[in-house]
Amino acid sequence: MDVSDLLTSAGINIAICVVLLSLYSILRKQPGNACVYFTRRLVSEPVRGTGDISCFERFVPSTGWIAKAWQATDEEILAVGGVDAVAFMRIVVFSIRVFIIAAVICLFIVLPVNYYGQDMQHKEIHSESLEVFTIGNVKEDSKWLWVHCLALYLISCSACVLLYSDYKSITKMRLAHITGSPPNPSHFTVLVRGVPWSPDNSYSNSVEQFFSTYYPESYLSHQMVYGSCTVDKLMKDAERMYRMLKSIDPRFLDRSLPYCIPGGAAHPFMVLNLRADSVSSSTSMDRLQSSQRRKECPAAFVFFRTRYAALVAAQVLQSSNPMLWVTELAPEPHDVYWSNLSIPYKQVWLRKITTLIASVVFMFLFLLPVTFVQGLTQLEHLDQLSRRVPFLKGILKQEFIHRVVTGYLPSVILMLFLYAVPPTMMLFSAMEGNISRSQRKRSACIKVLYFTIWNVFFVNVLSGSIIRQLTVFSSFKDAPTQLARAVPTQATFFTTYVLSSGWASLSCEIMQPFPLICNFFRKFILRTKVEPSSCALTFPHHTEIPRLLLFVHIGFTCSIMAPLILPFLLVFFFLAFLVYRNQILNVYVRKYESGGEFWPIVHNSAIFSLLLTQVIALGIFGIKRSPVASGFIIPLILLTLLFNEYCRQRFSPVFKRRPAQILIEMDQQDEQLGRKEEIRNQIRSAYFQNPIISHQVSINSNLPLSRNTSHHQGDEDNLHGLKSLKPFRNSTRSIR
């Protein structure tokens, strides 16, 4: 691939991006699409004028959204998206900063060294092969390799400094989030699982007995978790149908409804729902008791009087059998993943192992499409293909098609395959038994991250070069050398990958094609009224964080080997900055808040990328026979490892446990302000495993931390939905 190929590819991609972004700026101005592009605003500010936009303006692309996204301050982002959103944007900002430094160093110092590395006649610049710009072009035994070594030192140091300051500020933000938020029920609540079964007592009685014996001063009350039964499932189906039908515009109901609904009126289901509610609450106490008994799970939310008491109860080992009375801090009410709470705790470890194995198997099965894609970038494979399928021969001969096939198609195919990954990993994470949505997303995020870095980076690097797959596993000592041989040759592929997959994915992200089509379908085919809250999505951390981190990884590893990739990466990150800010401000709603808990993943991944870059550099200096440069890399590797260990010691505990000091101070403050009683009442009603009741409330809810009891998640989170529908409000027991 030469420079003109690259420019063709860049041209195609820029054109596509411009077209898509223009299309976006038009589509977002259509009032009908407001619930796709302004979901968050519609949910939080239900009555909102669409403004008087003239018909002409509505169909002219504009750049207003860019200005708005650019001008938003960090405080706005924090108010709108919480710490998670700010931490996410921090990944983008970190990448921009570090790659600006890297680009300056590499383009002005390393690139000329690479280009003039061999005594050769240079062709005209546009037909120059891209390989000329990589470190592969530097002569063996060259004296100029210290430039690369120095560049790597500078990049590593600046990356570490930036990582440190980011980790520090996000830790501070996380602590501020804990102290600054209004009294949060999750601070007072402990989730206990593995309640032992006893023939004399119900689970509920056991929980009450246990906590009033061992925590007599701080135990407030508890609330059992209920499993689902047939009646629940029927009610759930009924509710789903009700929701579906209710959302149909009443105007169309009589005219266009091709099927029959008993009652025919617009709101008979509301009545039905209320009746079901009244029936269940008027059932005789005895029957309710026995039915509750049958369905009680050995899990409960236990409420404590103070935050510190809850923290303590969550962190100590309760019983001498560690599989019983397992406590942990409860997730936020909106964050609870109810259906997993009924999983017996004894199964959890088994589920974790099973999903781990399943993910690994999935990761390796995915080699097949990747290998195919990789084959396309290599000419000899194309020749083989055209020999087997003769009619392709003519097409492939054409210069333009050829460029598209080698420069663009592989990335597109890979990207399409990659789209199937996050839902699969999300499914695995749900099966794993995670008790909260944020935990599930974090777990999926880690899986997707491993997956992408393995399948996009390593497999491409290793399968595309001298070494064939699977023989890779048999060699560890030579890994640096082999990577060093492979990475520069694969730099071309990564450049096109950034161009195609990177840029296109951002356009795709901002266009939201899937919700757009759904919206269109519902509006014009089904003619149902779309409730903004029912199609509100939470931020897809599990797809976007791995994507960004993959590009960070590619950026680091290619930086000194093939510096030409850096400008394209920078464009990607700038675009990402605008797109994600826009999406956070307008599209995604915040239903729960993990307080930036995913940051350690980001940090570790960046450190891993840095280390890999250094190991590859070690290999390259070995190949180029420059022992001095190799020698200088080893202390760099050690220093990076030490830096990582220091950060792990200094910051990461705060992301796993809440500091007692802060919680005690908050408790003391509550006491001084005399709002203890108020908080207690609030906690008792915070966790309800009951979507029917809560549904009516949730529609008009705006802030996730407000005290409504909504657990209705109309987004992709609902995949493994909410099981139990019956109102068990009366099952919350209090001992005083």
Does position 615 interact with a copy of itself (CB under 8 A)? The reply is: no
Q: How many residues bind a copy of itself (CB under 8 A)?
A: 42
In the range 646-705, which residues lie near a copy of itself by CB under 8 A? 646, 649-654, 657-662, 664
Identify which range of 28-36, 316-324, 453-461, 531-539 contacts a copy of itself by CB under 8 A: 316-324
Which of 719, 656, 711 is CA-nearest to residue 422? Answer: 719
Does position 165 interact with a copy of itself (CB under 8 A)? The reply is: no
Nearest distance from residue 353's CB to a copy of itself, in Å? Answer: 6
CA–CA dist 475, 575 (Å, integer):
39
Minimum CB distance to a copy of itself smaller for 118 or for 481: 481
In the range 350-369, which residues lie near a copy of itself by CB under 8 A? 350, 353
The length of the chain is 736
CA–CA dist 688, 724 (Å, integer):
10
Residue of 25, 289, 318, 339 that binds a copy of itself (CB under 8 A): 318
Minimum CB distance to a copy of itself smaller for 249 or for 478: 478
Q: Annotate each residue in 397-436 with x if it binds a copy of itself (CB under 8 A) or - if it does not, as one string.
A: ----------------------------------------
Does position 31 interact with a copy of itself (CB under 8 A)? The reply is: no
CB-neighbour burial class of residue 37 (10 A; exposed 0-12, middle 13-18, buried 19+): buried
Minimum CB distance to a copy of itself smaller for 116 or for 345: 345
CA–CA dist 487, 575 (Å, integer):
26
Nearest distance from residue 476's CB to a copy of itself, in Å? Answer: 6
For residues 454 and 418, is the Cβ–Cβ distance under 8 A? no
Phi/psi zone of residue 617: left (φ > 0), alpha (ψ -120 to 50 degrees), beta? alpha
The token duo for 470 is 């699977």
R_g (Cα) of the chain, nearest Å: 29
CB-neighbour burial class of residue 51 (10 A; exposed 0-12, middle 13-18, buried 19+): exposed
Query: At 324, which amino acid appears?
Result: L
Residue of 475, 681, 702, 718 that binds a copy of itself (CB under 8 A): 475
Which of 63, 66, 186, 698 is CA-nearest to residue 438? Answer: 186
Nearest distance from residue 304's CB to a copy of itself, in Å? Answer: 13
Does position 391 interact with a copy of itself (CB under 8 A)? The reply is: no
Nearest distance from residue 633's CB to a copy of itself, in Å? Answer: 17
Identify which range of 256-264, 307-315, 528-536, 617-625 contacts a copy of itself by CB under 8 A: 307-315
Residue of 317, 420, 628, 634 that binds a copy of itself (CB under 8 A): 317
**Other residues' Cβ atoms within 10 Å of the Cβ of residue 126:** 11
Does position 180 interact with a copy of itself (CB under 8 A)? The reply is: no
Nearest distance from residue 473's CB to a copy of itself, in Å? Answer: 5
In the three-class reduction of DSSP (H, G, I as helix; E, B as strand; rest coil), residue 220 is classed as strand
Minimum CB distance to a copy of itself smaller for 122 or for 346: 346
Q: Which residues contact 359 (CB under 8 A, 6 or more apart)?
A: 425, 428, 447, 450, 451
Nearest distance from residue 635's CB to a copy of itself, in Å? Answer: 13
CB-neighbour burial class of residue 68 (10 A; exposed 0-12, middle 13-18, buried 19+): middle
E strand or H helix that includes residue 300: strand 296-304
Sheet of 733-734: strands edge to edge? Answer: 326-329, 189-193, 296-304, 219-226, 733-734
Q: Which residues contact 82 (CB under 8 A, 6 or more apart)?
A: 177, 590, 593, 595
Rounded to the nearest 10°, the torsion over CA 318, 323, 327, 329 is: 140
Per the DSSP assignment, residues forming a β-bridge with 556 are: none
Does position 325 interact with a copy of itself (CB under 8 A)? The reply is: yes
Nearest distance from residue 207's CB to a copy of itself, in Å? Answer: 14
| Alpha carbon of residue 280 to chain centroid | 39
Residue of 143, 255, 287, 477 that binds a copy of itself (CB under 8 A): 477
Minimum CB distance to a copy of itself smaller for 43 or for 170: 170
Identify which range of 249-257, 320-328, 389-397, 690-698 contacts a copy of itself by CB under 8 A: 320-328
Residue of 322, 394, 631, 635 that binds a copy of itself (CB under 8 A): 322
In the range 232-271, which residues lie near a copy of itself by CB under 8 A? none
For residues 119 and 630, is the Cβ–Cβ distance under 8 A? no
Question: What is the 8-class DSSP label of residue 529?
Answer: P
Nearest distance from residue 636's CB to a copy of itself, in Å? Answer: 16
Per the DSSP assignment, residues forming a β-bridge with 224 are: 300
Minimum CB distance to a copy of itself smaller for 432 or for 715: 432
Cα atoms in the Cβ-side hemisphere of radius 13 Å centred on 725: 21
Minimum CB distance to a copy of itself smaller for 48 or for 172: 172
Residue of 323, 367, 611, 697 that binds a copy of itself (CB under 8 A): 323
Nearest distance from residue 333's CB to a copy of itself, in Å? Answer: 24
Cα angle, residue 246 at apex, residues 241 and 250 outer, rounded to 5°: 135
Minimum CB distance to a copy of itself smaller for 325 or for 408: 325
Q: Annotate each residue in 267-306 with x if it binds a copy of itself (CB under 8 A) or - if it does not, as one string.
A: ----------------------------------------
CA–CA dist 502, 522 (Å, integer):
30
Q: Which residues contact 211 (CB under 8 A, 6 or more apart)?
A: 219, 222, 302, 313
Nearest distance from residue 200's CB to a copy of itself, in Å? Answer: 19
CA–CA dist 483, 623 (Å, integer):
11
Minimum CB distance to a copy of itself smaller for 12 or for 312: 312
Minimum CB distance to a copy of itself smaller for 245 or for 312: 312
Nearest distance from residue 480's CB to a copy of itself, in Å? Answer: 12
Identify which range of 118-126, 279-287, 637-645, 690-698 contacts a copy of itself by CB under 8 A: 637-645
CA–CA dist 326, 514 (Å, integer):
41
Nearest distance from residue 667's CB to a copy of itself, in Å? Answer: 10
Does position 635 interact with a copy of itself (CB under 8 A)? The reply is: no
Minimum CB distance to a copy of itself smaller for 71 or for 474: 474
Q: Which residues bind a copy of itself (CB under 8 A)?
A: 171, 175, 214, 311-312, 315-323, 325, 349-350, 353, 470, 473-478, 641-642, 645-646, 649-654, 657-662, 664
